[in-house]
């Protein structure tokens, strides 16, 4: 017996030694959906338009970044990069995932969850997933086990909206099963109408409680037509109005169950993605119609998470990171009043463009770190990005990162903690959805925009989604021209060439993380 116990003892001693200098606070990453730079009070939203007291309080007690980014201007690539630490443009198939898409991250690819688990963390993702489920070439088996899924790539527990709230099916997934699925009423999901008489947003448009403006005319659920088609699974279907409550309820349960070990919770809110259908108690709570009301609901969620941490006496040992998956959009496919009620609200703050674009508004988003007692409250102008959370948080936990993993994720932990003189990123590549042609390359206060075609999408968030003509190469001085309106390319050809060459070399090199980042 003794002989068998010894190695275990030795291993655990080694692990404790390795983790001796590690800091393993609980980590809660709250990722909003389609939240723009100017959408919350502490980033300039006016109280007459909407109030976000809880997010503002988080910023007041924590560190508010003015150059906080997500890595892409749509959801799937940002989430892929957050979990893997790799720029999404390096990998095919990381664009907006369809309803029946397989798991984009397959077992074996190192994720932030995998490595935090090595440091003894319990890990969970609660909320929007949108990174596919199931094997390549197969996709999700909605009536069976949805594997591989989050549990195979680093999360002990998951409670999910599998794709987006506007993509079928409107069901919860808990671990690897559709919750409350009645086997007698199997779920079918497809991209074609299952029968000619299947009711859709086209055939039954006059019955809808929220009309669509583009796309979103497939199967109707809860009076709203969606992207794609499905039948069955009636007992499993959710009400859009209840999603936020559900994420909070499940988070509270999970935090209480796991509070005795360090935990990592990825709280992936669906707010304010379309269809924006906040709970009845939030409807009308902003002057901006449902788009603003959904932000108020998101703000409530943030308040609830902080309440839970405080009630469990976990606040002083928990680092919260608040961020978004891409910039704002007004009309994203439903007639929900977002444009009509925008008034003087600037959802991208002082920036140009939004979701789908490589202008600042597409990826520069609210970014707040909070850790009472550890992070000195303030404002930071350092460049930080959601892609860096993988290397930063894993390094803090004392776990070494394999060279081939997290290839673009920098250790900017000191900047996230607001340490004196700490630097964020030197440069950042901003991508849109596809990531194979349009890139923003920010270096210091210079930015090069490279559009593959002379077209950019969603340049004016306050108007209907449209393409706008642009120059293929644009050079911007962000300090003098945060709105990206003056192209300095013609007068600075050498700088354009230099930045373009540097961007190209990062694209070609296949990685941008220095392997000594652990020693920073």
Instruction: Decide: is 75 part of the binding site for Ca ion (CB under 5 A).
Output: yes
Of Ca ion, ligand NG6, none, which one does residue 297 interact with (CB within 5 to 8 Å by kind)?
Answer: none
Instruction: Decide: is 391 part of the binding site for ligand NG6 (CB under 6 A).
Output: no
- For Ca ion, the closer of residues 164 and 380 by Cβ is 164
CA 69 to chain CA centroid, Å, is 10
Min CB(391)–Ca ion separation in Å = 23
Site for ligand NG6 in 331-360 (CB under 6 A): 332-333
Residue ranges of E strands in 386-503: 427-431, 439-443, 446-450, 455-457, 467-469, 473-477
Residue 444 falls in which region: left (phi positive, over 0), alpha (psi -120 to 50) or beta: left
Q: How far apart are CA 381 and CA 66, in angstroms?
A: 5
Which region among 58-66, 213-221, 228-236, 377-385 touches ligand NG6 (by CB under 6 A)? 213-221
* Interacting residue with Ca ion among 81, 326, 392, 438 (CB under 5 A): 326
- What tokens does 322 get? 């608040």
Min CB(433)–ligand NG6 separation in Å = 7
Contact criterion met (CB below 8 Å) for 362 and 432: yes
Min CB(74)–Ca ion separation in Å = 6
- For ligand NG6, the closer of residues 96 and 473 by Cβ is 96
* Interacting residue with ligand NG6 among 227, 301, 358, 393 (CB under 6 A): 227
Contacts of 519 by beta carbon, 8 Å cutoff, 6+ apart: none
Min CB(165)–ligand NG6 separation in Å = 9
Q: How far apart are CA 386 and CA 412, in angstroms?
A: 11
Instruction: Decide: is 33 part of the binding site for Ca ion (CB under 5 A).
Output: yes
Which region among 211-219, 315-323, 375-383, 473-481 touches ligand NG6 (by CB under 6 A)? 211-219
Min CB(163)–ligand NG6 separation in Å = 8
Min CB(390)–ligand NG6 separation in Å = 20
With helix as H, strand as E and coil as C, how does 154-177 read? CCCEEEEECCCCCECCCECEECCE
Instruction: Decide: is 34 part of the binding site for Ca ion (CB under 5 A).
Output: yes
Of ligand NG6, Ca ion, none, which one does residue 39 interact with (CB within 5 to 8 Å by kind)?
Answer: none
Instruction: Decide: is 365 part of the binding site for Ca ion (CB under 5 A).
Output: no
* Interacting residue with ligand NG6 among 75, 265, 416, 429 (CB under 6 A): 75
- What tokens does 169 get? 């099916």
Q: How far apart are CA 257 and CA 248, in angstroms?
A: 14
Q: How far apart are CA 16 and CA 21, in angstroms?
A: 9
Contact criterion met (CB below 8 Å) for 325 and 31: yes
Min CB(221)–Ca ion separation in Å = 20
Of the candidates 383, 421, 422, 425, the residue with the CA atom closest to the CA atom of residue 408: 425
Instruction: Decide: is 243 part of the binding site for ligand NG6 (CB under 6 A).
Output: no
Contact criterion met (CB below 8 Å) for 512 and 407: yes
* Interacting residue with ligand NG6 among 138, 191, 205, 214 (CB under 6 A): 214
The dihedrals phi and psi of 126, each to the nearest 5 degrees, come to -130, 120
Of the candidates 366, 379, 385, the residue with the CA atom closest to the CA atom of residue 440: 385
Site for ligand NG6 in 101-160 (CB under 6 A): 130
Binding positions for Ca ion, rule: CB under 5 A: 33-34, 75, 325-326
Binding positions for ligand NG6, rule: CB under 6 A: 33-34, 74-75, 96, 130, 164, 166, 214-216, 227, 273-274, 326, 332-333
């Amino acid at each position: 017996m003794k002989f068998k116990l010894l190695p275990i003892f030795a291993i655990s001693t080694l692990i404790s030694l390795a983790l001796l200098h590690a800091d393993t606070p609980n980590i809660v990453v709250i990722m909003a959906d389609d939240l723009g730079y100017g959408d919350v009070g502490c980033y300039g939203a006016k109280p007459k338009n909407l109030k976000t007291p809880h997010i503002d309080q988080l910023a007041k007690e924590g560190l508010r970044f003015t150059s906080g980014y997500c890595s892409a201007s749509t959801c799937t690539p940002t989430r892929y990069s957050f979990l893997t630490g790799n720029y999404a443009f390096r990998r095919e198939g990381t664009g907006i995932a369809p309803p029946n898409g397989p798991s984009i991250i397959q077992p074996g690819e190192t994720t932030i969850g995998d490595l935090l688990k090595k440091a003894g963390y319990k890990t969970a993702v609660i909320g929007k997933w949108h990174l596919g489920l199931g094997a390549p070439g197969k996709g999700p088996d909605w009536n069976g086990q949805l594997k591989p899924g989050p549990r195979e790539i680093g999360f002990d527990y998951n409670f999910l909206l599998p794709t987006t709230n506007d993509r079928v099916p409107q069901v919860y997934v808990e671990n690897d099963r559709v919750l409350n699925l009645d086997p007698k009423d199997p779920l079918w999901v497809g991209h074609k109408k299952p029968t000619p008489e299947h009711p859709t947003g086209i055939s039954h448009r006059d019955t809808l409680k929220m009309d669509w403006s583009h796309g979103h005319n497939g199967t109707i659920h809860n009076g709203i037509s969606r992207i794609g088609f499905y039948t069955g699974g009636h007992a499993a279907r959710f009400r859009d109005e209840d999603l936020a409550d559900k994420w909070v309820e499940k988070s509270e349960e999970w935090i209480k169950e796991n509070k005795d070990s360090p935990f990592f919770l990825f709280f992936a809110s669906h707010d304010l993605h379309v269809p924006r259908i906040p709970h009845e108690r939030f409807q009308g709570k902003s002057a901006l119609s449902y788009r603003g009301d959904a932000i108020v609901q998101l703000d409530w969620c943030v308040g609830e998470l902080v309440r839970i941490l405080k009630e469990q006496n976990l606040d002083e040992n928990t680092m919260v990171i608040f961020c978004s998956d891409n910039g704002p959009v007004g009309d994203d496919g439903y007639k929900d009043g977002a444009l009509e009620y925008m008034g003087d609200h600037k959802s991208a703050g002082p920036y140009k463009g939004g979701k789908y674009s490589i202008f600042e508004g597409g990826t520069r988003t609210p970014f707040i770190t909070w850790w009472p007692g550890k992070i000195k409250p303030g404002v930071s102008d350092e460049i930080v990005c959601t892609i860096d959370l993988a290397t930063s948080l894993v390094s803090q936990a004392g776990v070494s990162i394999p060279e081939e993993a997290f290839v673009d994720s920098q250790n900017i932990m000191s900047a996230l903690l607001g340490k004196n003189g700490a630097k964020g990123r030197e440069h950042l590549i901003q991508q849109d959805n596809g990531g194979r042609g349009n890139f923003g390359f920010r270096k210091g206060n210079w930015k090069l925009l490279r559009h593959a075609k002379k077209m950019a999408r969603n340049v004016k968030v306050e108007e209907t989604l449209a393409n706008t003509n642009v120059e293929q190469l644009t050079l911007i001085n962000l300090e003098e021209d945060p709105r990206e309106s003056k192209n300095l390319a013609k007068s600075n050809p050498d700088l354009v060439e230099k930045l373009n060459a540097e961007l190209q070399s990062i694209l070609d090199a296949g990685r941008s993380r220095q392997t000594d980042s652990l020693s920073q």
